Amino acid sequence: MLTTFLQNVFNALQWGSFYSMIALGYCLVYGVLRLINFAHGDIFMTACYIAFFIATALLGAFSGGGVFVFALTLLLTMGATALVGITIERIAYRPLRMKGVNRLYVVITALMVGFILENGNLAFLGASARRFPDVIEKHIWQFGPVVLTNLKVLVILAAFAVFGLLQFIVQKTVLGMSMRAISYDKFAIPLMGIPVNRVITFTFALGSGLAAVAGILFGMSYPVLDPYMGMIIGWKAFIAAVVGGIGDIKGAFIGGFILGFIEIFITAVFPSSFKDLISFVILLIILVLKPTGFFGVARSTKI
Amino acid sequence: MRRKGFLGALLIALAATALFIGCSKKEQTIKIGFNIPLTGDNPMVGEGSKNAGDIVLKALKAQGGLTVKGQKYPVEFIYVDNELKAESAVQAALRLIEQDKVLAVVGPQGSGRAIPAGQVNNDNRTPMISAWSTNPDTTLNRPYVFRACFLDPFQAPVAAKFAKEQFNVTKTAILYNLEDDYSKTLAELYRDSWQAANGPGSVVVFDSFGQRDQDFSAQLTRIVNSGAEMLYLPVYYNFVALIVPQAKDLGWNKPIMGADAWGSADLVPLSKGSVAGYYFTTHYAAAGAVGKTKEFIDEYNASYGYIPDDVAALTYDAVNIVLQAIQNAGLSGDLQKDRNAIKDAMAALRNYDGITGKMNFNVQGDPEKDAVVVRISEAGEFVYVTSLQP
């Protein structure tokens, strides 16, 4: 009983890490732009595919894999996915923002961008599932009754590292300060000489880079890729971000783990057909009791 | 004015079509529809089916068509994608029956699509043969619906019997896909026959997951810590590739037994070496095949670069059963009459010698044939272990 419980704590930490990393991307864009970037789950999927191609190419060049290949794949994937994010912002969101349309239209556009990414992938790469290559060798560690893999530990550490990095950027750097400033007042800030568009571009690059970290680790943990893999996990991470308090980095991070823990422990106790039902009822209750989420503050600086 | 012009053009087009159909009655084309998943979660199923169809078509083209009662007819295969969705399979069935006016339909392949599409085909009195659907409901009380494979009520008990003897165990865990009729039915049948043989309480975990799940660690943790001595995993190959490595990561080192949905050419590429040493029940074994079966495998491998899986082999048999039935029944040119005749001829086929075994159809349209157990070797080949009698 205790064994099962301990094992599930680590299962939940791993699964929650993915929700957290994706939720942080939602949170970042929402914080700056007040835009729920529904394409984020599909940017995550795109990152997974980019990582697949980069890792396959690198493994061809440096056979065997290892930490070096992993680090190189990570950096290249982050760069490429950041470009994808910037491109989407440039093509789809910026023209709408320049016209000053209602935020609703931007959200609909985000949904469309998500579908375009999914179906573009389907059309160009075909429907066959792909196997993510083994970038690093897997080791299974037995700690008393609990079984861990090096990958599992890496995923959990990565989630905390990403959170720490983001906190640092937003709280301690000039760019972060600009982001917070735009979040505070989008109209007065250009008067202060802050290049709003450049900061927004940077925000998208950062958000997509986070999706890339999640994407490559997800590919390594759950190595079957398909074009629709980002849809459900994207929605769930969005809900996790809202429960934690969207716009607040700590909130999104903890929200991801809350959802991860709820899902794993519901499945461990109840028949798994109840998993999503009970999980979302719990989340609904949380939101009804605290509509702004755990760390959200109603209508003020969010980020 | 514009509207009138358009209507006129439409009328002329309709008249031309009618004329064309009228003229072409002598040169009747044998049209056979394929209701298969070319996209969706298991596109390899559709690809294998289409490739098998193309091999048959190529052979027919080389002969100049199909000879029916001394006359050669051109043959056309129409491949329609059902996206592995029940509603799309119904749409595809209607399209093939009403728009393409096919004589018979091959597929849908899996039971989730074959059961609803079977209803449509039966209601429209068009013969249909599913190559790969193992659920009894597909053909039950549907005289126009046939299949080319064995059934789950046969597959599950023989798998349970084989697993018990092979691994010498009494406690089993079962993990299945709740959103898939095939997986759910098979899991329940296996549970019942396991409990009948090993007493109550011998199925220690009976758990499920959803179609879009990617993480199975909670279910697998329960299974690993339950004292189960083996795991029965009646799920599609794409889930096998996720579940088996996760189980091993959680410390599972006991046998796993699979079902015929494992038998895809994609299983080993997707799951790498993690499935080596496991067994599953299936319809045919490619390694060590002889005769006609080997000829088919060689031609398929030469054309497409990989060993055909059971869907491809069964589709090859299904198409040939339809063609044989057309040859036996003859063609009158009247679509409905021909469809009825083909149905009767299929039901009357005796000792049809297919590449997946000899077949007789019973009153339900189900063939009576053996199941094969294969072992996945370290090299990723499906090695024949034994044949199990009904």
Q: Mind listing the pLDDT tens digit of every residue in chain B (390 residues)?
A: 445 555 555 555 555 555 455 444 456 889 999 999 998 878 888 999 999 999 999 999 999 899 998 889 999 999 999 988 989 999 999 999 999 999 999 989 888 899 999 999 999 999 999 998 888 889 999 999 999 988 888 899 999 999 999 999 999 999 999 988 889 999 999 999 999 999 999 999 999 998 889 999 999 999 999 999 999 999 999 999 999 999 999 999 999 999 998 988 889 999 888 999 999 999 888 877 888 889 999 999 999 998 898 899 999 999 999 999 999 998 888 999 999 999 999 998 888 888 888 888 888 888 888 888 999 999 988 888 988 876
Number of C-alpha atoms within 13 angstroms, CB side, residue B77?
Answer: 28
**R_g over Cα of chain B:** 23
Contact with chain A for residue B226, Cβ under 8 A:
no
- pLDDT (0 to 100) of residue B352: 87
Which residues have CB under 8 Å from A240's CB, separation 6+?
A: A19, A20, A23, A252, A255, A256, A258, A259
Q: Please give the Cα distance from A8 to B361 (Å, whole number).
A: 50
Beta carbons of A133 and A56 less than 8 angstroms apart: yes
Contact with chain B for residue A102, Cβ under 8 A:
no
Q: How far is A271 from chain B (nearest CA, A)?
A: 7
- Out of A126, A131, A272, closest to residue B272 by CB: A131
Which residues have CB under 8 Å from B13's CB, separation 6+?
A: none
- Nearest residue in A to B212, CA atom: A232
Contacts of B207 in chain A (CB under 8 A): 271-272
Contacts of A228 in chain B (CB under 8 A): 212
What is the 3-state composition of chain B as percent helix, strand, coil, each rounded to the nearest 5? 50, 20, 35
Strands (E) across chain A are located at: 130-131, 140-143, 146-149, 224-225
Q: How far is B266 from chain A (nearest CA, A)?
A: 9
Contacts of B269 in chain A (CB under 8 A): 131
Contact with chain B for residue A139, Cβ under 8 A:
no
- Pairwise CB contact (< 8 Å): B218 & A223: no
Q: Please give the Cα distance from A182 to A171 (Å, whole number).
A: 14
Amino acid at B29: T
Contact with chain A for residue B184, Cβ under 8 A:
no
Q: Please give the Cα distance from A94 to A100 (Å, whole number).
A: 10
Residue A201, SS3?
A: helix
- Pairwise CB contact (< 8 Å): A11 & B217: yes
Q: Using CA of residue B333, residue B336, residue B339, residue B340, what is the dihedral sign?
A: negative
How many residues can be counted in chain B?
A: 390
Beta carbons of B163 and B387 less than 8 angstroms apart: no
* Environment class of B148 (CB within 10 Å of its CB; exposed 0-12, middle 13-18, buried 19+): buried
Contact with chain A for residue B336, Cβ under 8 A:
no
- pLDDT (0 to 100) of residue B25: 46
How many residues can be counted in chain A?
A: 303
Cis omega (within 30 of 0) on the bond before B108?
A: yes
Amino acid at A212: A
Structure token pair of residue A157: 């550490």
- Pairwise CB contact (< 8 Å): B208 & A271: yes
Amino acid at B159: A
Cα angle A263, B85, B159 (rounded to 5 degrees) comes to 75
Beta carbons of B75 and B66 less than 8 angstroms apart: yes
Q: Using CA of residue A27, residue A29, residue A33, residue A34, what is the dihedral sign?
A: negative
Amino acid at B275: V
Contact with chain A for residue B345, Cβ under 8 A:
no
Contact with chain A for residue B251, Cβ under 8 A:
yes
Structure token pair of residue A83: 């470009």
Q: Which residues in B12-28 are b (16+ Cβ under 10 Å) and which e? A: eeeeeeeeeeeeeeeeb
- Pairwise CB contact (< 8 Å): B266 & A128: yes
pLDDT in 10s for each residue of chain A, 303 residues: 788 899 999 999 999 999 999 999 999 998 888 888 999 999 999 999 999 999 999 998 887 778 899 999 999 999 999 999 999 999 999 999 889 888 889 999 999 999 999 999 999 998 788 999 999 888 999 888 889 999 999 999 999 999 999 999 999 999 999 998 888 887 888 888 889 999 999 999 999 999 999 999 999 999 999 899 999 999 999 999 999 988 789 999 999 999 999 999 999 988 888 888 998 998 899 889 988 888 866 555 555
Which residues have CB under 8 Å from B157's CB, separation 6+?
A: B189, B190, B193
Q: Please give the Cα distance from B50 to B290 (Å, whole number).
A: 23
Closest of B156, B52, B45 to residue B110, by C-alpha: B45
Q: Please give the Cα distance from B220 to B175 (Å, whole number).
A: 9
Q: Which residues in B192-209 are b (16+ Cβ under 10 Å) and which e? A: ebbeeebeeebbbbbbbb
Residue B73, SS3?
A: strand
Strands B357-359 and B352-354: antiparallel
Structure token pair of residue A203: 């925000």
Contacts of B228 in chain A (CB under 8 A): none
* Substitution target from A1, A7, A226 for chain B, most B beta carbons within 10 A: A7
Contact with chain A for residue B225, Cβ under 8 A:
yes
Q: Please give the Cα distance from B21 to B28 (Å, whole number).
A: 9
Amino acid at A223: P
**R_g over Cα of chain A:** 19
* Substitution target from B85, B249, B253, B266 for chain A, most A beta carbons within 10 A: B249
Other C-beta atoms within 10 Å of B227: how many? Answer: 10
- Pairwise CB contact (< 8 Å): A223 & B245: yes
The strand pairing partners of B175, in sequence order, are B207
- Pairwise CB contact (< 8 Å): B41 & A226: yes
Task: With a threshold of 0.85, tell me whether the complex ipTM lies above it.
Answer: yes
Q: Please give the Cα distance from A209 to B15 (Å, whole number).
A: 61
The strand pairing partners of B72, in sequence order, are B67
**Region label for B352, one of left (φ > 0), alpha (ψ between -120 and 50) or beta (otherwise):** beta
Strands A224-225 and B382-388: unpaired
- Out of B218, B251, B271, closest to residue A8 by CB: B218
Amino acid at B317: D
Tokens 């013969």 sit on residue: B127
- Out of A8, A272, A273, closest to residue B221 by CB: A8
Distances in Å between the Cα of B305 and the Cα atoms of A34, B18, B201, B300 are 51, 44, 47, 7
Q: How far is B248 from chain A (nearest CA, A)?
A: 9
Query: Which ranges of B152-290 would DSSP assign to H, the alpha helix?
Result: 152-167, 181-198, 217-224, 237-249, 267-271
- Pairwise CB contact (< 8 Å): A264 & B178: no
Which residues have CB under 8 Å from A279's CB, separation 6+?
A: A259, A262, A263, A266
Beta carbons of B367 and B359 less than 8 angstroms apart: yes
- Nearest residue in A to B45, CA atom: A128
Other C-beta atoms within 10 Å of B350: how many? Answer: 8
Distances in Å between the Cα of A65 and the Cα atoms of A140, B343, B378 are 17, 57, 22
Contact with chain B for residue A276, Cβ under 8 A:
yes
Contacts of B222 in chain A (CB under 8 A): 4, 268
Q: Please give the Cα distance from B220 to B226 (Å, whole number).
A: 10
Contact with chain A for residue B178, Cβ under 8 A:
yes
Task: Name the pTM for this structure.
Answer: 0.84
The one-character DSSP state at B361 is B
Beta carbons of B44 and B309 less than 8 angstroms apart: yes
Structure token pair of residue A297: 């503050």
Residue A223, SS3?
A: coil
